[in-house]
Every structure is written in C-alpha cells, then in structure tokens.
Amino acid sequence: MKQQTIYLVLSVILGSVDGYAGEFDDILKLNRFMEYPIPKSTPEWEETLSDKNTYFVETTNGEITILTEGNSSHNKYLQKYDAGNIKYEGINQGEWGGELTAIYSDGTKQELITDNIVSILPYYEDGKSGLYIFTGLAHMSLSRGAIYVIENYEIAPVVKKLTLLPDAPEVVITDKYKYDDSNYFIIIGSSALMTYEPDRDDLEIILIDQSLLISPTSAIKKNDEILVGIRSGVVVIDITERNKSVRFFKKTESNHQLLNSTPKSGAN
C-alpha cells in the first residue's frame, strides 16, 4: 500500500446563515421540513429526537424524495453487486458481524472479507478500475472503518486493504471533482464526513465530531451541499471551501405550521 495523504479540515460552522437559501431548501419546504437550531442540552436533544421516524433521501426519475423507513427501498443489511461471471454479496449485521462473499457462476462461494459491509461501489478512472468495499462498525463507544479494493473483480478477485477510517462509514456516494471531473467517494460516518480519491489514495476529513449525524441512512449531493437522511429528520451539509456548516431540519405537523413559522437559526 502506497503512502497515503490525509487532510484534516477544521473550519466548521454549526448552524445557518440568516437569509441563506440553500440548494435543497425548496424541496425541504415542499416536504414540510423546517430548520431547527442545533441542540445544546439534554432537554433540547430529547426534543430533537422526539420524532422516532428515520428518514431516507432518494432520487427517482430526477426528482428528490424524502421517505420514512417503511417507504424506502434502502436495505443497510444487504449489499449486492453483479459483475457478470461473479456476483458479490455483502452482509451487515452490526455488532453481530458481516462478510463479503463472491458467488461464481458455477455456484461456488468464496468469503473475501470478514467485516460489516456498508457499501460496494465500482470505480473507473483513466483505465484504472476496481470494486471498492467500505466496511465498519459503530456500536456504543466503538467507531471504526476501512476501505478495501477488489482488483480483477470480474474474473479472479484479489482483495487489498487500502486504509483504515477514523469513523465508521454509514453512507457512501460517488461524485466528481469540479476542477478535473475525476471521480471520488463521499463517506458519511456516525460522526464525520470524509472523502476518498482512489486515483491518488487520498483521504480527506471534512468534518469531525458531528453530533447531528444521527444514524445516517442516505445522501444526495448537489453542487456544494449534501442532503443526508438521519433519525428524526435530515441535515444539509455545506462543504464550500471556506464556509462549512451543518443545518438541521425536522418534519412539521402541517403546512400551516410551516408557512407561519420562521426557521430558527443556529449558532452564528
């Protein structure tokens, strides 16, 4: 494994900027979500978590939807990838463990990784390809993760461990850099936001110790903002170079409440 570059970005602002209209504000209003302040005490956290629903953000036919657990097709316990002659199946059972299994066309099975499989994503860039596997576990005070790559995954898989992660990954999505259109991964953990660029083996920690990343379920990126489904609501993360921020939104009871309420700003 070649030497890895790790960048740590610490300039974080919790809360919103008054009058700021983000990329997802219209869709949040349409779905009756209103911005709430960042909790600072136990009673405020209890109020924040009073909504027992877990929310998922998805894109269907180009439209963003926000769904509750019973209406989403998301399955965190089973990940699958079909590479033609080989099918990959990843199991995630939390503290009970998991594994990644390769299932060959003749029915033969081969266990490749023993760990909770969070995500299986292919990567193609300038002739380089691989199947990237994100593993980890967040349980009580434990939070750990790792990234593997499976080379030659369409014919004869070879597993390589690339790096450990400072936080357990919960959601992983693929994006492209603006400056050169190259692909990279956005990794949302139980308390951190990270990116990983396979071409340079670069891990960047964007945000750390984020108490609002409560059981992340799913994410959508649009320009410099990421919409994340969590327990009790959604968060919008602004990853602008000099103005990183986290905003929290909860479901309102009615359109009347939404239209006649002024969103509460967080810490300025």
pLDDT-derived band at 157 (thresholds 50, 70, 90) equals very high
DSSP-assigned states of every residue in 104-122: ETTS-EEEEE-S-EEEEEE
pLDDT-derived band at 21 (thresholds 50, 70, 90) equals low
Residue 79 has pLDDT above 90, yes or no: yes
Domains and CATH numbers, the chain: 5-259 (2.120.10)
Average per-residue pLDDT for the chain: 84
Structure tokens at 236: 């919008």
Residue 194 has pLDDT above 90, yes or no: yes
> Residue 203: its pLDDT value, please?
96
Can you tell me the mean pLDDT for 25-30?
Answer: 93
Sign of CA dihedral 79, 208, 164, 187: positive
Can you tell me the mean pLDDT for 240-256?
Answer: 77
Local structure of 99: helix, strand or coil: coil
Select the highest-mean-pLDDT range: 48-62, 78-92, 203-217: 78-92
pTM: 0.84
Cβ partners under 8 Å of residue 136, min gap 6 = 115, 116, 118, 143, 144, 145, 146, 165, 167, 168, 169, 189
Structure tokens at 61: 């036919």
Report the number of secondary-structure helices (H) and strands (E) in the chain.
3, 21
* More confident site: 242 or 189: 189
Local structure of 199: helix, strand or coil: coil
Phi, psi (rounded to 5 degrees) for 95? -65, -15
Query: Please, where are the H alpha helices in the chain?
Result: 25-30, 42-48, 255-259
> Residue 6: its pLDDT value, please?
44
Question: What CA–CA distance (Å, rounded) separates 213 from 264?
Answer: 19
* More confident site: 101 or 141: 101
Q: If we measure between CA atoms, which residue out of 253, 235, 222 comes closest to residue 36? A: 235
Sign of CA dihedral 137, 48, 21, 66: positive
